[in-house]
Every structure is written in structure tokens, then in C-alpha cells.
Structure 1
Amino acid sequence: MVNNYFWDFDGTLFDTYPGMVNAFQKALQLQNVSVASEEIYQIMREKSVRQAIQLYSNMNPSLNVDKLKENYTNLEIKEQVNVKLFPGAEEVCEWVTNNGGHNFLLTHRDQSAIDMMNEKHVLNLFSDFVTANQKFPRKPNPASLNYLVEKNGVDLQTAAMIGDRELDIAAGHNAGMKGYLFDFDQMITTVEVPEKRVLKLIDLIEK
């Protein structure tokens, strides 16, 4: 049984995409670049914020990339107010712990991820976490996963990385564990083949 779950945060545990998209759109507008929110969402969903920054800076040579990053970061903090857990997230985490397993968090977000989890009273369901504050290489590099596995003595046969993008699946595979894709809007095409692909988190619960 897989009962050690390594969770991505943005787009997996918490639906932070609306705030991310709004902040990015506003940051672009501050430099007189107008882009539809649907387009920004698709790029963030399929790729990453970093790749969105790279794409729009390539398309708009006049963009000040450092200013775009700074404005996005400042705006995004303000946009993430009362962010909701995805339906089923808490139930799956409880199922994991009730079956003798552990939940771990692996996120590129900073301490704000921990604050949001604490606010929604789910932090107690997690045994350990890695955030941006710990300066590990970004996924799909498995260094942060390897750290959590070794520190907590996790059997890789019982472990899975759960995330909403291909890089999460690749990170899990690179660490020697399973990769589960949460493809809630069916937008992700992967080269890496996930052991599970679910539209609803609740479907992760093994009967």
C-alpha cells in the first residue's frame, strides 16, 4: 500500500491559481502589457511561473524582468486571501495518517505555504516539509524528496509524489517513488507516465 504521500502545494493541496494568475496579469499591466487571464493560466498550469516570465519577456523585449518578478511576488501575496483547499485534500491526508502513513509537503513556495496550512488546520496532518526557504534545487531534481525520505526513514515502495504538473511526476520518479498526477481540469499532457491520474483527490484513497 502507498501510504506515504509527498504533496505539492500550489494546484494540488490548495487552489492558488486564481491568485497567481491575477497577480501575474496585474504585474504585466504595470508595464503596459495586456494578456488574457486564460492564456496566463494555461502557461502556469502546464509549465510554471518561471516559464511564464521567460515567455512574456521574450515576447516583450521592453519588459523589465526584475521588476516583473518583484511586482508579481508582492501582488501575489495580497491575492492569496482565504485560499481554499481542493475538495478531498483533507480527507485524503486523514486517510493516509489513519492507515499508518505520513504526509509530507514539498513546495517551491516559501513560509506562506505553512501559514496557509495552519490557517486551514491541516498542518497537524503533515509530518515534515520542504519549502523554498531551504534552498533545495527545484523539481524535478529529487534532492528535496531524497532529503525527506532519508530524514524520515520512508520506504520508497510505500511512497508517492502527488502533484498537478509533469515536473512533480518526474521528481517522484527521479527519487525512486511513484508519481500521481492530479489533473483536475484535464490540461496536462505528460511524457513521464504517472502511476495514477485523478480528476478528484478523493480518488486517491485506496479501497
Structure 2
Amino acid sequence: MIPIFIWDLDGTLLDSYEAILAGIQETYEQYDLPFDREEVRNFILRYSVKDLLVRDADKYGLDSDELNRVRATSLKEKNTQIPLMAGAREILDWTAQQGIQNFVYTHKSDNAFQVLEDLGVRHHFTEILTSDSGFARKPSPEALLFLIEKYGLDKENTYYIGDRLLDVETAINAGIHSINLQIDGVEQNQNIRALLEIKELFED
């Protein structure tokens, strides 16, 4: 059976955390907020950028939506700084050779379309769902279940590929398999250290 892949973007296909951190830092400087790079990085890896902004907006009496708008504008200007993860282009080309269908579900905004276009890989994806698509956020399986139902995907053969515990939890909640670049020790998840290891999982 040919598998189906649904991909996360940040930290999975896109090596975007430096650009994300730079965008947050610029925003915090604009509002004179303290910025601890390591603490912020750890927080967004465990939770999300949105959760971070809500936390700090509450703490400093600011509007989290306004903070997020400023941050999104700053990040958009950094699109050209976002490279693909090591092995991403090769693994996507391999999926094309194998006839594997690819989708995206990301907490990234619709800015994701332009980034993937600029990197020359947007054509690999049947459909891309972002935080602007209107689904409940991870670990809700709502977006994954939408794709499964819309395209008649076989859950037994569908994999959500990510880099955070949140991605593993989302896959489990949707009743599909998980492949993850960071998380190990979860029964329903396959841990990999590099994207090209995906080939070894599916090649006889």
C-alpha cells in the first residue's frame, strides 16, 4: 500500500525557527517587552507562538491579536530567510516518484503558500491547511479529519509528520500514524532523526 503523508511545516519541512524567533524579538522590542530567546524557543516548541503571545499580552496588559499582527508582518518580511529543512526537497521528490500524495496542516498562516511557492515545492501538495483555514488548533484532529473525509484517505495508511509533541497528539487524536523528528517513546509514533529516514520506513 502506498502511504499518504500530511506534513507540518515549521521545524518539519521548513527550517523556520530562526526567522520566527527574529520576528518575535522584533515585535517584543517594539513594545519594550523582555525577550529571552531560549525560553521563548522552548515555549513555542512545547506549545505555540499564539500561546506565547496570549501569555505575554496578559502579563503586560497588551492585546494579543495586535501583537500577533505586528509579528506576522515582521515574519512576512523574513520569508526569503526561510530555507527548507535538510533532506526536504529530496524526500518530496521521492514521494512524487513513489506516487505518494502529500498534504499540509500547519499552524502557520496563509503566508505558508508564498513560502512554499518561493522554495519551489508548493506543487507537491494536494491541499494546504493553515491557521487561517478556520479549524480548531492542534491537538484537535479537526483539520486532519477534514482531509481524511474529503479525500477518502485510509487512516491505517495515513501519517502526520511533525516535530513536536503537539503533532504526535494531533495524529493520535485523528486515529492516524505519527512520524516525528523530535519526539520518542510514544507507542503510536515513529521517531526519526532526519527526513531522509522516511524512505527507509517505506522501502522494502
TM-score by length of 1: 0.87
- Give structure 2 stretches of 5+ with no counterpart: none
Other-structure match for 2:50:
50
CA apart distance, 1:57: 3.4
Other-structure match for 2:162:
163
Percent of pairs with identical residues:
26
Please tell me the residue identity of whatever aligns with 1:21: L
Give the Cα separation in 1 of the matches to 2:111 and 2:69. Answer: 16
CA contact (8 A) 1:4 1:96 kept: no
CA contact (8 A) 1:2 1:160 kept: no
- RMSD of aligned C-alpha atoms? 2.1
Number of paired residues?
201
Give the Cα separation in 2 of the matches to 1:173 and 1:2. Answer: 20
Deviations 1:51-79 (A, max 9, x none): 21233335x43444343223212212112
CA contact (8 A) 1:31 1:63 kept: no
Other-structure match for 2:115:
116
TM-score by length of 2: 0.88
Q: Equivalent residues in 2 for 1:169-180 (5 A)? A: 169-180=168-179
Give the Cα separation in 1 of the matches to 2:164 and 2:83. Answer: 19
Give the Cα separation in 2 of the matches to 1:146 and 1:152. Answer: 10
Matched, 1:202 2:196: yes
Other-structure match for 2:37:
37
* DSSP 3-state at the match of 2:15: coil
Please tell me the residue identity of whatever aligns with 2:99: G
User: Given the superposition, is the C-alpha separation of residues 65 and 122 from structure 1 closer, same or farther in structure 2, using an over 3 Å criterion?
Assistant: closer
Deviations 1:141-198 (A, max 9, x none): 1111111112222111111001111121111111111011112xxxx578x5452111
CA contact (8 A) 1:25 1:40 kept: no
- Give structure 1 stretches of 5+ with no counterpart: none
Matched, 1:134 2:112: no
